[in-house]
Amino acid sequence: MSSRLLPVADLGQQIWLDNLTRRLLDSGELASFIDDDGIAGVTSNPAIFYNALKNDPAYQNALAELRPRLADPEARFEALALPDIRQACDLFKGVYLASGGSQGFVSFEVSPRLAHDAAGTVAAAKRLWQEIGRPNAMIKIPATAAGLDAIEAVIHAGINVNVTLIFSNRQLQAVQAAHRRGLERRRAEGLALNGIASVASVFISRIDAAVDGRLPAELQGKTAISSAKMAYARWIEDVRSTFTPLAEKGALPQWLLWASTSAKNPAYRDVVYVEELIGPHTINTVPDATLAAFRDHGEAEARLTDHWVEARQVLSKVAAAGIDLDQLGDELQQAGLAQFDEAYAKLLELVA
């Protein structure tokens, strides 16, 4: 019996795995996800690597060998993690080539300590890009004010970028503008625009978790999906209008990626943030448990393009309830930065 995930690709959406460990690579499990489920990419973050290094015995011997050679904990962490990133990139090479460079990406994040340091982020992104040395790598940069400047510069440098920690449509529009500016600088300088990939990672479930308690029952669980649908509508409009001159020169649009799509509320269907956000030219990155749940009982339908009028109405009612989603997005981004900072500090403590 074929996987329930395969029809999602037929509807135009890529499913990525929001996890990476040496065990996944060495056991062949990630390869089977690609072959059996059509998984088209991988995302990682400091929390994922902390859990991997803490729980996967495969890292312990390697860490013991690194300690005498590398005194700096960040250098030790990268020496452990970057070989996995390269191996995953190689595993997805066939997907990358078969898709013409639109699938098969593996993301690795710059240090969370650089979230408010544009120059440091640019330098780290360029260094990591060179050290990974794979065309289907993506460097993750947060959508902070400093991050926006870095995104423009890194895109201008011809490096693939995954922009993370986007929680509002205002943040998303600023990210898309930074992406366009980077490409426009390349065009002005006569540099090639083709082959530079980027995704904008919009976090979903944390929005509902933050607002549901302030909303009547009939609106609960609907804010994040409605906001994502309106973001997608705006994305289609932008690709058809402002991005067209860049596309004519071979540039790829910045795809929307739905992140944080496991259901935080146990009362909700466990695959709701996958099922409701399937649509063309998008990506959903899912943790192992959500992947398994969709494989078991998920329904693949293109619902992202449905009920836009209802989505606008939901957002109007949310605003009428006194909830400013742009302000909330800024608060959630700060909380997300703090969470990644904490995970990174624990990770460095672990390798030290």
Question: Which residue's entry shows tokens 């969370």?
Answer: 112
Distance CA 297, CA 7 (A): 13
- Please name the helix (run of DSSP H) or strand (run of DSSP E) that holds residue 201, with its range, or none: strand 198-203
Distance CA 256, CA 163 (A): 10
Residues belonging to the active site: 140
Q: Which parts of 133-219 fold into alpha helices (H)? A: 145-156, 169-188, 205-211
Parallel/antiparallel/unpaired status of strands 198-203 and 161-166: parallel
Q: Are 46 and 347 in contact (CB under 8 A)?
A: yes
Distance CA 161, CA 19 (A): 18
Identify which of 63, 67, 5, 53 has the alpha carbon closest to the alpha carbon of residue 33: 5
Residue 219's identity, in one-letter code, is: L
Distance CA 125, CA 109 (A): 9
Distant-in-sequence, close-in-space partners of 308: CB < 8 Å, separation ≥ 6: 229, 230, 233
Cα-based torsion angle of the residue sequence 98, 37, 160, 331 in order, rounded to the nearest 10 degrees: 160
Helix 223-240 and helix 169-188, axial crossing angle in degrees, nearest 10: 20
Distance CA 106, CA 139 (A): 9
Q: Are 96 and 105 in contact (CB under 8 A)?
A: yes
